[in-house]
Chain A
Amino acid sequence: MANPLETLLDQLRAQFLDGLEERLQRLEHLTLGLEQPQKHQERFQALYREVHSLKGLGGTHGLPLLSAACHALENRLEHLADDGADRGTIDQILAYLDLLRDIGRHAREGRDDTPLRTRLETLEDNAPHALLVEPSPTLALLMEKLARNHGLRVTRLSDGLEALGRLLHQPFHLLLCARHLGNLDAPALLAALRLQEGPNQRIPTVLISADGELEADAPQPDRLIIRRSDFLLQLDQAIQALLPAP
Chain B
Amino acid sequence: MPPLQRILYVDDEPELGAIAQLALEQIGGYRVTLCQNGTEALAAVATEQPQLALLDVLMPDMDGPQLLAELRATPQGAELPVIFLTGRADDQARRQYQTLGALGTIAKPFDPMQLAQQVQTLWERRGPA
Contact B108 A16 (CB under 8 A): no
Q: Which residue of A lies closest to B115 (CB)?
A: A60
Count chain B CB atoms within 10 A of each CB in A4, A6, A9 and give the residue with the most: A9
The contact of B87 among A5, A12, A56, A61, by CB within 8 Å, is A56
Contact B16 A5 (CB under 8 A): no
The contact of B109 among A5, A8, A55, by CB within 8 Å, is A55
- Residue count of chain A within 8 Å CB distance of chain B: 21
B12 within 8 A of A: yes
Contact B16 A57 (CB under 8 A): yes
The interface-forming segment of B19-27, B94-102, B120-128 is B19-27
Q: How far is the CB of B3 from chain A (nearest CB, A)?
A: 21
| Chain A facing B: main interface SS | helix
Contact A8 B87 (CB under 8 A): no
Contact A5 B22 (CB under 8 A): yes
The contact of A56 among B22, B109, B113, by CB within 8 Å, is B109
Contact A52 B22 (CB under 8 A): no
Q: CB-CB < 8 A to A12: which residues of B?
A: 15, 18-19, 22
Q: Which residue of A lies closest to B58 (CB)?
A: A52
Contact A52 B15 (CB under 8 A): no
Count chain A CB atoms within 10 A of each CB in B12, B19, B23, B27 and give the residue with the most: B19
Q: Bound state CA distance, A64 and B12, in angstroms?
A: 21
A104 within 8 A of B: no
Q: CB-CB < 8 A to A5: which residues of B?
A: 22-23, 26-27, 112-113
Count chain B CB atoms within 10 A of each CB in A6, A8, A58 and give the residue with the most: A8
Known: A49-B60, A55-B87, A60-B110. Is A16-B26 also a contact (CB below 8 A)? no
Contact B87 A52 (CB under 8 A): yes
Contact pattern, A 155-190, Cβ under 8 Å of B = 1, otherwise 0: 000000000000000000000000000000000000
B13 within 8 A of A: yes
Q: CB-CB < 8 A to A59: which residues of B?
A: 108-110
Between-chain CB contacts (< 8 Å), 7 pairs: A5-B112, A8-B22, A9-B23, A56-B13, A56-B16, A59-B109, A60-B111
